[in-house]
Amino acid sequence: MPDLNIPNLNIKSDKYIFKKKLNLRRKSKRRLFIESFFLFILSVLLVYVNYLIPNKNLLLQNLPSTFNKSFLLLIDLFSYLCEIFLVIFIFVSCFTALILMIGSFNRLFKVAKRKSRQIVYK
C-alpha cells in the first residue's frame, strides 16, 4: 500500500504558481537615481539628434505627398514583379515543353526501331 497516491486536498490552486518567483524587493534610492540619470541623458541625446536634423518643417510638410509617392511606387513594384514572374513562367514552361517533346520523340523512335523478333527467356 505504500504506492497508493492519495490526492492532497490542501494544495493551493494554480493561480499562485509564479507568486514565489517574483522579485518583490524595492530598488534602492541610489539605483533609482542612477536609472533616472541615464534616462535623462538618453532624452537629452535624442533632443540633440533631433536638433541636428535640417529642414524639419519642410520634411513634415511633405510627409503626405511622400507617403502617396511611396504607395504608388509600391504598386508599380508589384505590377512589375507580376510581369517578371510571368516571363519566368513562360521561359520555364517552354523549356519543360521542349524536354517533354524530345522525350516523346525519343520514345517513339525507340518503339519504331525495335526489332520485331524478340527473344523469350523461359
Residues 6+ positions from 59 with CB-CB distance below 8 Å: 53
Question: Residue length, the chain?
Answer: 122
For 2, other C-beta atoms within 10 Å of its C-beta total 4
Give the span between the Cα atoms of 89 and 48, in whole angstroms: 53
Each residue's pLDDT tens digit, 37-95: 999 999 999 999 999 999 989 998 999 999 999 999 999 998 899 899 999 999 999 99
Residue entry with cell 518503339:
111
For 41, other C-beta atoms within 10 Å of its C-beta total 10
Give the domain ranges of the chain.
14-54+65-113
Whole-prediction pTM: 0.43
